[in-house]
Amino acid sequence: MSPASGSRLSLRWRVSAAFGLGLLVVVSALSAATWHLATGYLLNQRQQSADRHSRVNARLVDNEVRSQSDGLGELLSGLAAGPNSTVLVSLPGGWRTAGRPVGPENLPPDLLSRAHPGAPAHERFIADGIPVLAVAQPLPSSNGFYVELHPLLGLERTFRNLRMILVMGTVACGMFGVVLGAWAAQRALRPLAAFTETAARIARGDMRARLPEQGGPDLAPLAATFNSTADALEQRVRRDARFAADVSHELRSPLTTMTTVAEVLDRRRDAMPAPAQKALQLLLAELHRFRGMVLDLLEISAVDQADNGDDRELVDLGPLVRSGIASSPAPRPTLDLSPQPLLVAADRRRLDRVLANLLDNAARYGGGAVRVAVHARNGVVRLEVDDAGDGVPAELRERIFERFSRGMHAGRRDPDSGTGLGLAIVADHVYRHNGRVWAEARPGGGARFVVELPEARG
């Protein structure tokens, strides 16, 4: 897998991100529209209210100026009685102010020039740290202007709360979209997960694995096609297995006859000339190798048959390993066995064959087994067989478990070269027990073959 594909997000996370981003965009657009509509409406209402209030106040001030009485100051003080409000009046004699002290120099420059009879001027600005709405009304009797600054603290507080609610709601909707996308992706990919698991079971050798029937019109044809393909594959595998078994059985009789005749001739080897003795030696070597291959093919055929689990029992790998090493003709390796029972639900005969083939492989290609260990870890029982050879190159560590694959020894044809089926039988037996087997480098040199089987509780 390349680095680019390794860093790519999974389909589930891409769907979740798409849901979250889509919902975030939609809710952001709705929030922006709500913000503009709400703020525009509230500002318009506040402006109309300020216009009505300022129009009435400007009429009172204009009447007071026309009457030329001395009550203008008292009137302005009464009009600016509200908190943070300011009243400014421009007269020929200068400016008169009341309320919160804000000078005329703080007013926007073009505010008065935009005020006309019946059309007051408005502008929002910050006056001495407080947001205000300025409304300017002309005074016809004195050619002056009435200016009132209406505080917007309450309206700004409303805007701030509305902005916080919209932002928090948008973020919450984006997160909800991610969660919704993850849930939808999980439900949508559930059939794909079942497809992957079933395909993996078939690849591990469980030819009876099938997809469950699907009720949806889109998935039902896929499940039916997959199951029919699996049926055809199972029938083909069984036909091949029966063919291999039949051929192997048919070969046993003539092979036994040939081996017997060759052994009879071997007992009379001294009476033969030297070329005949060499030919007989080669014949015996090939017959013994052929006989081992036929037996291995029969074992492979037995593995390929349906395994209904009737031969399963609780097997303690510790005693099994001790017994297998004691019966092996090879030199005895160092044993590293856990003192506790190491139980697996397995066919004892097949586990015996797994251990025997691993020891035989170490003797043939690895200079003999130097260590055999069995211990439990994380719910699995782990069997390790270390040899003293040169190790297995990384590019061959998977191929050596294929049938008729002998790795670096593919060109050998001597009596000790093997048939290339020993490790394939190991892999088939282990997979039948829902386990794993692989080869790795042994610390200090050599190869280590590892078998992991699910631990059983006694």
At residue 288 the predicted structure's pLDDT band, cuts being 50, 70 and 90, is confident
The pLDDT, as a whole number, for residue 206 is 73
Minimum mean pLDDT range among 265-269, 335-339, 450-454 = 265-269
The DSSP secondary-structure symbol of 116 reads B
The pLDDT, as a whole number, for residue 3 is 43
Question: Token match 């030919």: residue?
Answer: 279
Residue type at 446 in one-letter notation = G
Averaged pLDDT score across all residues of the chain = 82
Report d(CA 388, CA 395) in Å as an integer.
20
pLDDT per position as a tens digit, 118-154 = 788 888 888 888 898 889 988 887 788 888 898 888 8
Average pLDDT score over residue span 6-32: 82
pLDDT per position as a tens digit, 221-250 = 888 888 888 888 888 877 876 776 666 667
Reply yes or no on domain 10-159 having CATH 3.30.450.
Answer: yes
When comparing pLDDT for 436 and 13, which is higher? 436
Measured between its terminal Cα atoms, the distance across the chain in Å is: 41
Report d(CA 403, CA 243) in Å as an integer.
16
Residues making up the chain, counted from first to last: 458
Question: 412 φ, ψ to 5°?
Answer: -80, 145
- CB half-sphere exposure, 96, CA atoms < 13 A: 19
Reply yes or no on domain 313-454 having CATH 3.30.565.10.
Answer: yes
Minimum mean pLDDT range among 7-16, 73-82, 115-124, 153-162 = 7-16
Query: Could you tell me what percent of the chain has a pLDDT over 90?
Result: 20
Average pLDDT score over residue span 327-334: 86
Question: Token match 């055809």: residue?
Answer: 232
When comparing pLDDT for 159 and 195, which is higher? 159
Report d(CA 232, CA 236) in Å as an integer.
6
Q: Would the pLDDT of 63 be above 80?
A: yes
Residue type at 138 in one-letter notation = P
The pLDDT, as a whole number, for residue 2 is 43
- What's the gap between Cα 182 and its chain centre? 11
Q: Would the pLDDT of 1 be above 70?
A: no
Show the tokens assigned to 316: 């303690």
Of 320, 384, 307, 308, the residue nearest 351 (C-alpha): 320
Q: Would the pLDDT of 370 be above 90?
A: yes
At residue 327 the predicted structure's pLDDT band, cuts being 50, 70 and 90, is confident
Under 8 Å between Cβ of 76 and 60: no
Report d(CA 44, CA 40) in Å as an integer.
6
At residue 438 the predicted structure's pLDDT band, cuts being 50, 70 and 90, is very high
When comparing pLDDT for 93 and 177, which is higher? 177
When comparing pLDDT for 13 and 169, which is higher? 169
Under 8 Å between Cβ of 382 and 451: yes
Under 8 Å between Cβ of 187 and 219: no
Query: Coil, strand, or helix at residue 391?
Result: coil
The pLDDT, as a whole number, for residue 7 is 47
Minimum mean pLDDT range among 85-89, 369-373, 383-387 = 85-89
When comparing pLDDT for 371 and 104, which is higher? 371
Q: Would the pLDDT of 328 be above 70?
A: yes
Under 8 Å between Cβ of 343 and 455: yes
Under 8 Å between Cβ of 364 and 416: yes
At residue 35 the predicted structure's pLDDT band, cuts being 50, 70 and 90, is very high
Q: Would the pLDDT of 419 be above 70?
A: no
Gyration radius (Cα) of the chain, Å: 47
Of 420, 403, 418, the residue nearest 289 (C-alpha): 418
The pLDDT, as a whole number, for residue 164 is 94
Report d(CA 441, CA 389) in Å as an integer.
11
Q: Hey, CA dihedral for 201, 203, 205, 209, is it positive or negative?
A: positive
Taking the domains of the chain in order of start, what are their residue ranges? 10-159, 220-304, 313-454
Question: Token match 């092996």: residue?
Answer: 328
- What's the gap between Cα 251 and its chain centre? 52
Q: Would the pLDDT of 216 be above 90?
A: no
At residue 303 the predicted structure's pLDDT band, cuts being 50, 70 and 90, is low
Sorted by sequence, the CB contacts under 8 Å of residue 222 that are 6+ apart come out as 191, 195, 214
Of 416, 325, 417, the residue nearest 371 (C-alpha): 325
Domain 220-304 CATH (choose: 1.10.275.10, 3.40.1360.10, 3.40.50.300, 1.10.287.130)? 1.10.287.130
What angle is formed at CA 404 by the lines to CA 398 and CA 405, rounded to 5 degrees?
35
Query: Coil, strand, or helix at residue 336?
Result: strand
Of 437, 419, 427, 451, the residue nearest 296 (C-alpha): 419
Report d(CA 120, CA 47) in Å as an integer.
11
